[in-house]
Structure 1
Amino acid sequence: MQCQLSAHDDAEHYGLLSDAGPYGTALWLRWSGSTEAGPATLPDCPVASSGRDPEGCCLFAGHPERHTWQDAREEVAYTD
Protein backbone atom coordinates (compact mmCIF):
# COMPACT_ATOMS: atom_id res chain seq x y z
CA MET A 1 0.00 0.00 0.00
CA GLN A 2 1.18 3.50 -0.81
CA CYS A 3 0.71 6.48 1.52
CA GLN A 4 -1.99 8.84 0.18
CA LEU A 5 -0.54 11.96 1.83
CA SER A 6 1.56 14.42 -0.14
CA ALA A 7 5.32 14.18 0.40
CA HIS A 8 5.96 14.45 4.12
CA ASP A 9 8.57 13.72 6.77
CA ASP A 10 6.05 12.49 9.34
CA ALA A 11 6.51 8.94 10.61
CA GLU A 12 2.77 8.20 10.15
CA HIS A 13 1.39 7.10 6.79
CA TYR A 14 -2.19 6.50 5.59
CA GLY A 15 -3.64 4.41 2.78
CA LEU A 16 -7.35 4.30 1.90
CA LEU A 17 -8.92 0.86 2.45
CA SER A 18 -12.60 1.65 1.86
CA ASP A 19 -14.88 4.67 1.58
CA ALA A 20 -18.02 2.54 2.01
CA GLY A 21 -18.31 3.24 5.75
CA PRO A 22 -20.84 5.42 7.55
CA TYR A 23 -21.59 8.72 5.77
CA GLY A 24 -18.71 11.16 6.11
CA THR A 25 -16.09 8.57 7.11
CA ALA A 26 -13.68 6.15 5.47
CA LEU A 27 -11.58 3.21 6.60
CA TRP A 28 -7.85 3.91 6.42
CA LEU A 29 -4.77 1.80 7.08
CA ARG A 30 -2.41 3.74 9.34
CA TRP A 31 1.21 2.72 9.77
CA SER A 32 4.53 4.02 11.01
CA GLY A 33 7.89 2.55 10.23
CA SER A 34 7.85 -0.89 8.68
CA THR A 35 6.19 -3.02 11.37
CA GLU A 36 3.20 -1.26 12.97
CA ALA A 37 -0.05 -1.06 10.97
CA GLY A 38 -3.72 -0.93 11.86
CA PRO A 39 -7.13 0.20 10.65
CA ALA A 40 -8.55 3.61 11.52
CA THR A 41 -12.05 4.96 10.75
CA LEU A 42 -11.57 8.67 10.12
CA PRO A 43 -13.95 11.49 9.18
CA ASP A 44 -13.67 12.91 5.66
CA CYS A 45 -11.78 16.16 5.13
CA PRO A 46 -14.41 18.92 4.77
CA VAL A 47 -12.19 21.31 2.76
CA ALA A 48 -12.91 22.02 -0.90
CA SER A 49 -11.11 24.15 -3.45
CA SER A 50 -12.54 27.52 -4.35
CA GLY A 51 -13.79 28.57 -7.74
CA ARG A 52 -16.60 27.78 -10.10
CA ASP A 53 -16.25 23.99 -9.90
CA PRO A 54 -14.92 23.27 -6.40
CA GLU A 55 -13.18 19.95 -5.84
CA GLY A 56 -13.32 18.20 -2.47
CA CYS A 57 -10.30 16.79 -0.69
CA CYS A 58 -10.15 12.98 -0.78
CA LEU A 59 -8.27 12.63 2.53
CA PHE A 60 -9.38 12.62 6.18
CA ALA A 61 -10.13 15.57 8.46
CA GLY A 62 -7.04 17.07 10.07
CA HIS A 63 -4.57 15.42 7.69
CA PRO A 64 -1.10 16.97 7.51
CA GLU A 65 0.27 18.77 4.48
CA ARG A 66 -1.65 19.56 1.30
CA HIS A 67 -5.20 18.69 0.18
CA THR A 68 -5.53 16.27 -2.74
CA TRP A 69 -6.75 18.98 -5.12
CA GLN A 70 -3.63 21.03 -4.34
CA ASP A 71 -1.45 18.16 -5.59
CA ALA A 72 -3.45 17.61 -8.79
CA ARG A 73 -1.79 18.70 -11.98
CA GLU A 74 -3.48 21.49 -13.83
CA GLU A 75 -5.13 20.49 -17.09
CA VAL A 76 -3.87 22.29 -20.14
CA ALA A 77 -6.28 22.93 -23.00
CA TYR A 78 -4.79 22.76 -26.47
CA THR A 79 -6.52 24.51 -29.35
CA ASP A 80 -5.84 24.32 -33.07
Structure 2
Amino acid sequence: MNQCTAVALLPPPDHVVRLAAPGNPPQAGYVLCELGEDHGDDHASLLWEDDANGEAVWVRWGADGSEDGDGTGGEGGDGTGIGGGRGARLMGLAWCPAVDARSEDACGLFAGHPSLHDWDVVDPTMEAVDAVVRGRPDPAAPRPDPPDGP
Protein backbone atom coordinates (compact mmCIF):
# COMPACT_ATOMS: atom_id res chain seq x y z
CA MET A 1 0.00 0.00 0.00
CA ASN A 2 1.27 3.48 -0.82
CA GLN A 3 1.87 6.05 1.88
CA CYS A 4 -0.71 8.81 2.35
CA THR A 5 0.39 12.00 0.59
CA ALA A 6 -1.21 14.52 2.97
CA VAL A 7 0.99 17.43 4.05
CA ALA A 8 0.50 19.94 6.86
CA LEU A 9 2.33 23.23 7.24
CA LEU A 10 3.17 23.88 10.87
CA PRO A 11 3.70 27.53 11.71
CA PRO A 12 6.09 28.22 14.57
CA PRO A 13 4.38 28.71 17.93
CA ASP A 14 3.71 32.32 18.96
CA HIS A 15 6.23 32.18 21.80
CA VAL A 16 8.97 31.17 19.35
CA VAL A 17 8.02 33.99 16.98
CA ARG A 18 8.25 36.50 19.86
CA LEU A 19 11.74 35.25 20.75
CA ALA A 20 13.06 35.50 17.18
CA ALA A 21 15.53 38.18 16.19
CA PRO A 22 13.92 41.20 14.50
CA GLY A 23 13.81 40.73 10.75
CA ASN A 24 14.54 37.01 11.06
CA PRO A 25 11.25 35.27 11.84
CA PRO A 26 11.23 31.47 12.12
CA GLN A 27 9.82 29.68 9.11
CA ALA A 28 6.91 27.27 9.01
CA GLY A 29 7.85 23.64 8.65
CA TYR A 30 5.92 20.83 7.05
CA VAL A 31 5.12 17.25 7.97
CA LEU A 32 4.02 14.35 5.78
CA CYS A 33 1.47 11.77 6.86
CA GLU A 34 3.15 8.43 7.60
CA LEU A 35 0.02 6.28 7.46
CA GLY A 36 -1.15 4.19 4.52
CA GLU A 37 -3.33 5.89 1.90
CA ASP A 38 -7.09 5.93 2.50
CA HIS A 39 -6.59 5.41 6.24
CA GLY A 40 -9.88 7.15 7.09
CA ASP A 41 -8.71 8.88 10.27
CA ASP A 42 -6.64 11.94 11.18
CA HIS A 43 -3.25 12.17 9.52
CA ALA A 44 -0.15 11.52 11.63
CA SER A 45 3.56 12.23 11.53
CA LEU A 46 6.26 11.27 14.03
CA LEU A 47 8.08 14.29 15.48
CA TRP A 48 10.42 12.69 18.01
CA GLU A 49 10.86 9.61 20.16
CA ASP A 50 10.35 9.78 23.91
CA ASP A 51 12.34 6.75 25.05
CA ALA A 52 12.02 7.63 28.73
CA ASN A 53 8.26 7.10 28.52
CA GLY A 54 8.27 4.33 25.89
CA GLU A 55 6.34 6.42 23.40
CA ALA A 56 6.78 9.07 20.74
CA VAL A 57 5.43 12.56 20.11
CA TRP A 58 3.21 12.68 17.04
CA VAL A 59 1.43 15.52 15.28
CA ARG A 60 -2.15 14.72 14.17
CA TRP A 61 -4.28 16.85 11.84
CA GLY A 62 -7.65 16.63 10.09
CA ALA A 63 -8.28 13.64 7.86
CA ASP A 64 -10.26 15.68 5.33
CA GLY A 65 -7.44 18.15 4.74
CA SER A 66 -8.96 20.73 7.07
CA GLU A 67 -6.98 21.99 9.99
CA ASP A 68 -9.31 20.75 12.67
CA GLY A 69 -10.73 17.59 11.16
CA ASP A 70 -14.31 18.85 11.45
CA GLY A 71 -14.93 18.59 7.71
CA THR A 72 -15.65 22.29 7.31
CA GLY A 73 -12.71 22.99 5.08
CA GLY A 74 -10.26 25.68 6.04
CA GLU A 75 -6.87 25.62 4.39
CA GLY A 76 -6.62 22.38 2.52
CA GLY A 77 -10.35 21.68 2.63
CA ASP A 78 -10.23 21.51 -1.16
CA GLY A 79 -9.22 17.86 -1.01
CA THR A 80 -5.50 18.47 -1.52
CA GLY A 81 -4.65 17.17 1.93
CA ILE A 82 -2.60 20.28 2.60
CA GLY A 83 -3.61 21.83 5.88
CA GLY A 84 -2.45 25.02 7.51
CA GLY A 85 -1.49 23.24 10.70
CA ARG A 86 -3.15 25.63 13.14
CA GLY A 87 -5.47 22.82 14.24
CA ALA A 88 -2.62 20.32 14.51
CA ARG A 89 -2.34 18.53 17.82
CA LEU A 90 0.85 17.23 19.42
CA MET A 91 0.39 14.09 21.46
CA GLY A 92 2.46 11.41 23.13
CA LEU A 93 1.38 8.02 21.81
CA ALA A 94 2.60 4.55 22.71
CA TRP A 95 4.29 2.50 20.00
CA CYS A 96 2.36 -0.11 18.06
CA PRO A 97 3.24 -3.48 19.66
CA ALA A 98 3.18 -5.42 16.34
CA VAL A 99 6.34 -7.09 15.07
CA ASP A 100 6.88 -8.22 11.46
CA ALA A 101 7.28 -12.01 11.55
CA ARG A 102 9.52 -11.94 8.43
CA SER A 103 12.10 -9.45 9.65
CA GLU A 104 11.35 -9.14 13.38
CA ASP A 105 11.14 -5.35 12.89
CA ALA A 106 8.76 -3.47 15.17
CA CYS A 107 6.05 -1.33 13.62
CA GLY A 108 7.17 2.31 13.69
CA LEU A 109 3.65 3.71 14.04
CA PHE A 110 1.58 4.42 17.15
CA ALA A 111 -0.63 1.88 18.94
CA GLY A 112 -4.08 1.65 17.38
CA HIS A 113 -3.05 3.31 14.10
CA PRO A 114 -5.79 3.12 11.44
CA SER A 115 -3.81 1.73 8.50
CA LEU A 116 -1.54 -1.20 7.76
CA HIS A 117 1.70 -1.53 9.73
CA ASP A 118 4.64 0.53 8.50
CA TRP A 119 6.39 -2.40 6.81
CA ASP A 120 3.39 -2.64 4.45
CA VAL A 121 3.32 1.11 3.70
CA VAL A 122 5.53 2.20 0.78
CA ASP A 123 6.69 5.77 0.23
CA PRO A 124 6.05 6.31 -3.52
CA THR A 125 8.88 8.84 -3.74
CA MET A 126 11.40 6.36 -2.37
CA GLU A 127 10.09 3.70 -4.77
CA ALA A 128 10.82 6.06 -7.68
CA VAL A 129 14.32 6.77 -6.34
CA ASP A 130 14.97 3.03 -5.86
CA ALA A 131 13.95 2.36 -9.47
CA VAL A 132 16.51 4.87 -10.74
CA VAL A 133 19.28 3.68 -8.42
CA ARG A 134 18.78 -0.03 -9.24
CA GLY A 135 20.07 0.51 -12.78
CA ARG A 136 23.27 2.27 -11.73
CA PRO A 137 26.57 0.82 -10.55
CA ASP A 138 27.39 0.99 -6.85
CA PRO A 139 29.83 3.94 -6.41
CA ALA A 140 31.20 2.35 -3.23
CA ALA A 141 32.06 -0.97 -4.91
CA PRO A 142 35.78 -1.80 -5.13
CA ARG A 143 37.31 -0.98 -8.48
CA PRO A 144 39.86 -3.17 -10.24
CA ASP A 145 43.46 -2.01 -10.20
CA PRO A 146 44.57 -0.36 -13.44
CA PRO A 147 46.78 -2.54 -15.65
CA ASP A 148 50.54 -2.05 -15.31
CA GLY A 149 52.31 -0.11 -18.02
CA PRO A 150 51.25 0.84 -21.55
TM over 0.5: yes
- Aligned equivalent of 1:44: 95
Letter in 1 for 2:42: E
Per-residue deviation at 1:38? Answer: 1.0
Change (3 A) 1:57 1:16: same
Matches within 5 A, 1:16-31: 16-31=46-61
Residue pair 2:43, 2:60 contacting (<8 A) in 1 also: yes
- Compute the displacement of 1:69 (Å): 1.2
CA contact 1:21–1:27 (8 Å) conserved in 2: no
* SS of structure 2 residue aligned to 1:22: helix
In structure 1, stretches of 5+ residues that fail to align are: 74-80
RMSD between aligned alpha carbons? 2.0
Q: Structure 2 length normalisation: TM-score?
A: 0.43
Structure 2's unaligned 5+ residue stretches are 1-30, 68-86, 124-150
Partner amino acid, structure 1, of 2:66: S
Tell me the distance in 2 between the aligned counterparts of 1:66 and 1:5: 8
* Greater strand share, structure number: 1
CA distance in 2, matches of 1:50, 1:9: 23
Q: How many residues align?
A: 72
> Is the counterpart of residue 58 in structure 1 residue 108 in structure 2?
yes
